Amino acid sequence: MRQPRRILVTGGAGFIGSNFVHYWCKKYPGDRLLVLDALTYAGNRQNLADLEEVANLRFVQGNICDRALVDRLLQEEAIDTIAHFAAESHVDRSILAPANFIQTNLVGTFTLLEAFRQHWEMRGKREGDYPEGVTASHRFLQVSTDEVYGSLGANDPSFTETTAYAPNSPYSASKAGSDHLVRAYYRTYGLPTLTTHCSNNYGPYHFPEKLIPLMCIHILLGKPLPVYGDGSNIRDWLHVEDHCQALDLVLHQGRVGETYNIGGDNQVSNIDLVQTLCDVMDELAPDLPVRPARRLITFVKDRPGHDQRYALDIHKITSELGWSPTITFTAGLRQTAQWYLDHPDWWQPLLSARKTVIQ
């Protein structure tokens, strides 16, 4: 019988984190969820607005680098699981202000690991005798990115869990460093960790400076659709709901200390994605200010160090845990576009309060 978990979700007001909180509250209403989020530019309390009355959910505004706060929350809530989403994740911002990424992604992850190690050693190890001090329930889940692996050529095989790290931006380098810390805490201390690498996520509550929501909103406003370079860069796209289902399986069935790639098996060039999205929006929103929306596409100077292609081999999670993506890119893109059409009350305040940049 499954025992209820007490989960600290860092970055739980961000895009993937808030979708995870929605997913978990619906599937496991008996679990206790503590959301810790600094509510910087990408964190939005409105992402959790419809969960305000959930009895088993608590929100705390705070920084993962605040060791005293993290220690207190782990003790107060008797946390047995950390789902670590909190990160500076926008590549363009990492080029402009790399120090913020080092602080949050490296120092923040280190702070969480140290606090959780102490908490686990005092509380978790007493739960039973397991190999190398690993308990049946305590877990530290590091949610990472495919960008730590670097860039692929057109004919290169997809990244596997054993691909050597080769990060090319301050963002991906900071995430690579945090991954190494997680691995070290498992190998050195036996801390029960799990690491996942996901491809590009899309879906509801996605901050408007990322590619798909930016394009949706610009189409609705009749603004130019900026595409880096010639648009040939290729990404693998994963619907955030599929991602949450995969993380669920990893937390419950994944082997401690292991890494799992989570991809959508949807490799699409940026220009093909934008053109398809234009066609979808033309169909869903007949009163667009500019039609056809493809007229808005504008090619802009490429960003420094722009990786050409990402692709993840998901054989490991499929064979070990039985997971595979269920939402097709066509259906997911249409669903996402409709969400932005239906929720101007969500994205309009973000545009007025924050200057957006493209991914």
Whether 181 is covered by a domain: the verdict is: yes
Task: Return the bridge partners of 107, or none.
Answer: none
* DSSP output for 274-316: HHHHHHHHHHH-TT-SSSSGGGGEEEEPPPTT---B--B--HH
Q: Tens digit of pLDDT for each residue in 270-302?
A: 999 999 999 999 999 999 999 999 999 999 999
Whether 72 is covered by a domain: the verdict is: yes
Q: How far apart are CA 218 and CA 213, in angstroms?
A: 8
> Are the CB atoms for 191 and 325 separated by under 8 Å?
no
H helices within the chain, ranges in order?
15-27, 67-76, 91-96, 98-101, 108-123, 170-189, 211-221, 240-253, 270-284, 315-321, 329-342, 344-353
State yes or no: cis peptide before 204, omega within 30 of 0: no
- CATH number of the structural domain spanning residue 152: 3.40.50.720
Assign 137 a pLDDT band (cuts: 50, 70, 90).
confident
For the chain, give the mean pLDDT: 92
Domain range for 256: 6-203+239-264+305-328
Whether 104 is covered by a domain: the verdict is: yes
Task: Return the bridge partners of 198, or none.
Answer: 145, 262
Selection from 271, 286, 264, 268 nearest residue 215 by Cα:
271
Q: How far apart are CA 99 and CA 101, in angstroms?
A: 5
314 Cβ neighbours under 8 A, 6+ residues apart: 261, 262, 263, 265, 323, 324
Whether 291 is covered by a domain: the verdict is: no
pLDDT confidence of residue 351: 85
Q: Tens digit of pLDDT for each residue in 181-214?
A: 999 999 999 999 999 999 999 999 999 989 999 9
Residue 128 pLDDT greater than 80, yes or no? no
Tell me phi and psi for residue 254, to 5 degrees: -65, 150
Residue 358 pLDDT greater than 90, yes or no? no
Whether 171 is covered by a domain: the verdict is: yes
Report the domain count for the chain.
1
- Measured CA angle at 238 (ends 207, 351), to 5 deg: 10
The percent of residues in the chain predicted with pLDDT above 70, rounded, is: 94
Whether 355 is covered by a domain: the verdict is: no
Assign 18 a pLDDT band (cuts: 50, 70, 90).
very high
pLDDT confidence of residue 202: 98
Whether 56 is covered by a domain: the verdict is: yes
Q: Tens digit of pLDDT for each residue in 51-105?
A: 989 999 999 999 999 999 999 999 999 999 999 999 987 777 878 888 988 999 9
Task: Return the bridge partners of 237, or none.
Answer: 200
**Residue 258 neighbours by CB distance under 10 Å:** 16
Residues belonging to the active site: 146-147, 171
Whether 172 is covered by a domain: the verdict is: yes
